Structure 1
Amino acid sequence: MQLRQSERKKAKIKMALQGSAGSGKTYSSLLLAQGLTNGNFSTVAVIDTENGSADLYAHLGNYNVLSLTPPFTPQKYVEAIEVCEKAGIEVIILDSISHCWDYLLDYHSSLAGNSFTNWAKIKPLEKLFIDKILQSNVHIIATMRTKQDYVLNQKDGKFIPEKVGLKAVQRDGIDFEFTIVFDVDIKHFAVSSKDRTGLFMDKPEFIITSETGKKILDWCNSGIAETASFTTSSESSVTSANSTDYFAPGDAHFSNSNNNMSKDSILNRISTSNTIAELLAIYKQYPEYQQELKPEYEARKSFLIKLSNFQNFSTNGHR
């Protein structure tokens, strides 16, 4: 254990916009992305679950669109995010993540047995999705639909449902996962209901513009740069990605190990590796875990190879 002084590092914003249909969540997200990329829409991607709604704003610029189709599983969102990361995207808009929650609710309802204990089967799936958002090395903007929320109040000995406002179509507490949450009303005015940056909290409602995104970008870049913890090998060094002995333990040159790294940390690096070259670099770095973690390496390798064949990535307005 070692004490250190606190310091804020440069960040990649993880934010959410919640509002009802027609409030302008998609359009506002694109304006935020425009500011976050200094107007370079070619590094923006919309993961679209809204049946092509992302293409409605193609006049803004040449952003990219990746269309998802049902079922909207957490795994499908994770694959889509990784496709965008591999393509060099800087801002990913998840429009919307409410479809993922709808899928999980339907899946829970379909399970036999005790409804309460069945949530233990749902939580790991949702965690996979949320962890991917939080651990991604790009800016992510998620949109969430809202619906009328009710509470039961007792009146004259009876429980009567009463409207108490709007609630996001997501699990309770999802807003705690994001750095900023904007509530957007039907007139397109936004107010911050969650803000760790201090830029928008307790401020009057406003219309989101690209300048809002620039302000957030300045905040993200105001910290100190984080030093990379490892060096990945180049793609060209991988000559046998599809070979069954690709991860052959015990090679003499696999000796550059870091004995301070725990197995859980290595597993996390394996699960978040974006290329086979990066995966191989991790494998070489920790020879003492090569045999024990070989199944995890092989599973991640197969997943990355599958991603390279993912053919649903397109520019907006072109199917």
Structure 2
Amino acid sequence: MKLQQAKRHQVKLRIGLSGPSGFGKTYSALLLAYGMTGNWKKIALIDTENNSASLYSHLGDFNVLSLEEPFSPERYIKAIQVCEEADISVIIIDSISHEWQGKSGCLEIHEQLGGRFQDWAKVTPRHNAFIDAIILSKCHLITTSRRKVDYSIDKGSDGKTKVSKLGMKEITREGFEYELTVNFEFLNDKHLVSSSKDRTGLFSGKPEFIINSATGKRLMEWSNDGISLEEIKEEINSCTTEESLKLLYTQYPHLSKELYPLIVLRKETLDNLSNQIIPNEQVIQQPNLENNEFSIK
């Protein structure tokens, strides 16, 4: 255990857009992504919404990966990997709701296993792997999710059952919002949004607004403020012990995929240097007087 000074470092953005169908999630996600990159070719949209991305092809020549059923967590993970391997800067998943409630999504998998509470022990690790793929991706990532009206059924003081409207509920597993940098909720079909979660401080407490490319640019400027990956690489190369490498690795969990091979390479270098040093017991012995040379055991 060791105290260390807090550092502001560059991060990969994890942005959520949630709202009912028809509120403008896909269009807004594309504008956000373009503001972040300034290059449509660096954007990939994983489309689970019946090729709805084609409606916005006039915006620019962004990349599309059509993901049809089954909507298992593993297929989503594979789609993310395909985008990463294509050297994409921003991945849009439109939408993540199918992974939870779609055909062969987590709820259906649970039901097929028997629908018992203990069956979640088999489903949860698969869903968590999907969440990890989002969190640990080397790309900036934008997710969209649907929202629906949530109700509760209660008994009143008169003993009669009544239905209460609780508001809008996101169609994904509860708690996903906590993994995001920013989560925007669409308030109406006029595309107005407010932030329900904001680690940047750029939007919390501010009036509702309409997302555009300038929003993405502001987010990108925020994410680039701090120590860069190149500077972290220099820190790795300056480490002289395995302990210092471990400490450095734990400081940047969101960059674990990028840093791990660099950490391993530096450790191998340190191990090789250590093996080249002559151990203490192999000290210089008595000189060989016959040929005027020193011998080493």
Tell me, yes or no, if structure 1 residue 186 matches structure 2 residue 185.
no
Which position in structure 2 is the counterpart of 1:290? none
Distance (Å, rounded) in 1 between the aligned partners of 2:264 and 2:81: 18
For residue 7 of structure 1, report the CA deviation from its aligned partner. 1.0
Distance (Å, rounded) in 2 between the aligned partners of 1:81 and 1:169: 20
Among 209, 212, 217, the alignment partner of 1:209 is: 212
Larger radius of gyration between Structure 1 and Structure 2: 2
Distance (Å, rounded) in 2 between the aligned partners of 1:154 and 1:21: 32
Tell me, yes or no, if structure 1 residue 162 matches structure 2 residue 164.
yes
Distance (Å, rounded) in 2 between the aligned partners of 1:143 and 1:105: 18
Distance (Å, rounded) in 1 between the aligned partners of 2:268 and 2:67: 37
Sequence identity, in percent? Answer: 47
- 1:117 partner SS: helix
Distance (Å, rounded) in 1 between the aligned partners of 2:264 and 2:79: 23
For residue 161 of structure 1, report the CA deviation from its aligned partner. 1.8
Structure with the larger helix share: 2
Which position in structure 1 is the counterpart of 2:29? 29
Distance (Å, rounded) in 1 between the aligned partners of 2:106 and 2:257: 23
Contact 2:138 2:257 in 1 (8 A): no
Which position in structure 1 is the counterpart of 2:277? none
Q: RMSD across aligned C-alpha pairs, in angstroms?
A: 2.8
- 2:220 partner SS: helix
Task: Name the CA shift for 1:57/1:6 in 2 (closer, same or farther; >3 Å).
Answer: same
Which position in structure 2 is the counterpart of 1:149? 150
For residue 2 of structure 1, report the CA deviation from its aligned partner. 2.2
Give the TM-score taking structure 1 as reference length: 0.73
- 1:16 partner SS: strand
Which position in structure 2 is the counterpart of 1:312? none
Contact 2:96 2:143 in 1 (8 A): yes
Deviations 1:168-187 (A, max 9, x none): 11111211111100001322
For residue 74 of structure 1, report the CA deviation from its aligned partner. 0.9
- 1:28 partner SS: helix
For residue 164 of structure 1, report the CA deviation from its aligned partner. 1.6
Where in structure 1 are there 5+ consecutive unaligned residues?
232-257, 288-319
Which position in structure 1 is the counterpart of 2:65? 66
For residue 152 of structure 1, report the CA deviation from its aligned partner. 2.5
Where in structure 2 are there 5+ consecutive unaligned residues?
270-297
Residues 124-273 of structure 1: pairs in structure 2 closer than 5 A: 124-155=125-156, 156-184=158-186, 185-226=188-229, 227-228=232-233, 259-260=242-243, 272=257
Distance (Å, rounded) in 2 between the aligned partners of 1:209 and 1:69: 28
